[in-house]
Amino acid sequence: MKAIRFSQAGGPEVLEFVDVDLAPPGPGEARVRHTVIGVNFIDTYHRSGLYRLPLPSGLGTEAAGVVEAVGAGVTGLKAGDRVAYAGALGAYAEAANVAADRLVSLPAGVSDETAAAALLKGMTAQYLLKRTYAVQPGQTILFHAAAGGVGLIAGQWARHLGATVIGSVGDDGKIPLAQANGYAHVLNTRGGDWVRQVRDLTGGEGVPVVYDSIGRDTFAGSIDCLAVRGLMVSFGNASGAVPPVDPGLLSARGSLYLTRPTLASYTRNGRELRETADDLFAAIAAGVVNIAVNQRFPLSEARAAHEALHSRATTGATVLIP
């Protein structure tokens, strides 16, 4: 089969579209024939070496498709079942062997494209807004990268939960899209004093929670946006890793909390994975969140997808078609 592989960390040019052999599924695994593959910012961290992988390696952690075969000991799944996964490495390929307990069955109303675009990003929005910090009606919150893949889902969901959502973008051209997806106020982090704007929008109080996936460029400003005893949720590093933090900063700014969550630790076992995915699928079915697939590339052009993501040119979700 064809797959994207890379043998050294670097820019999008290290990605190669090559022929590889796929073994039959091992014990506890199912082989999934991919129909649509999700592109996520974490794929760029793996490729660049910010998150180190043993090389050579496959890439990508999210796809939807059809079960082709199951390995020894797999029950509850059979050839022909529609499934998706988020979190197993090697998704940039025509097929993959995936641990059966990491596969989510797709409801009839969720298309393969929606699943590949939304499973990882939507489950992330789910745990961030409901479990890392349970957003309450009437609260005003700040969510960075509002027009991105996670951002467009989170804006809609947070508004549905009753929050007034402030979003950030890096380009004024993305403001209308963010506004149409739940954000009451949209600030530009590449122009203007966005920290002052957040303070002004909250009567000087600050927000109870900031969701910051931009990392290095926004971390300090996000801390300054928090109300006393507020929670800083640092969940990504699109602009680079956050430098070490002195706990004294949290006390000086008013007994703040800081967490650095991952989807893996909020979907630790089959039950948590199913509950999180079911909540997302219910939100999609109810129209609480609409999934925007705004970029599609052939699998062979994964490099171009990475260039678009890296250059901040994308909005919503990006998918690869094998």
Interface residues with ligand NAP (CB under 6 A) are 40-42, 120-121, 124, 145, 147-151, 169-171, 174, 189, 213-214, 217, 235-236, 238-239, 261-263, 309-310, 312, 314
| Between 170 and 182, CB nearer to ligand NAP | 170
Query: Closest separation between CB of residue 150 and ligand NAP, Å?
Result: 4
Do residues 38 and 60 make contact, with C-beta atoms less than 8 angstroms apart?
A: yes
Question: d(Cα 227, Cα 98) in Å, to the nearest integer?
Answer: 43
Query: Closest separation between CB of residue 195 and ligand NAP, Å?
Result: 15
Q: For residue 78, give both structure tokens.
A: 């059979």
Q: For residue 115, give both structure tokens.
A: 């699943």
| Between 30 and 45, CB nearer to ligand NAP | 45
Q: Annotate 58-101 with DSSP letters as a single string.
A: E---EEEEEEEEE-TT--S--TT-EEEEES-S--SBSEEEEEGG
Please classify residue 181 by burial: count the beta carbons closer than 10 Å to its beta carbon, then call 0-12 exposed, 13-18 middle and 19+ buried.
buried
Query: Tokens 């939807």 — which residue?
Result: 64
Question: d(Cα 64, Cα 251) in Å, to the nearest integer?
Answer: 45
| Between 67 and 292, CB nearer to ligand NAP | 292
Q: For residue 18, give both structure tokens.
A: 């090559």
Measured in whole angstroms, the distance separating CA 87 from the mean position of its chain's CA atoms is 11
Query: Closest separation between CB of residue 281 and ligand NAP, Å?
Result: 18
| Between 4 and 147, CB nearer to ligand NAP | 147
Question: d(Cα 238, Cα 313) in Å, to the nearest integer?
Answer: 13
| Between 67 and 238, CB nearer to ligand NAP | 238
H helices, E strands: number in the chain: 10, 16
Question: d(Cα 213, Cα 317) in Å, to the nearest integer?
Answer: 16
| Between 105 and 188, CB nearer to ligand NAP | 188
Question: d(Cα 274, Cα 272) in Å, to the nearest integer?
Answer: 6
- Cβ-closest residue to ligand NAP? 148
| Between 28 and 261, CB nearer to ligand NAP | 261
Neighbours of 80 (CB within 10 A): 8
DSSP E strands, the chain? 2-6, 16-19, 29-39, 57-58, 62-70, 82-86, 95-99, 104-105, 140-143, 164-169, 183-188, 207-212, 226-234, 257-259, 293-298, 317-321
| Between 135 and 214, CB nearer to ligand NAP | 214
| Between 22 and 180, CB nearer to ligand NAP | 180
Query: Closest separation between CB of residue 269 and ligand NAP, Å?
Result: 16
Query: Closest separation between CB of residue 303 and ligand NAP, Å?
Result: 16
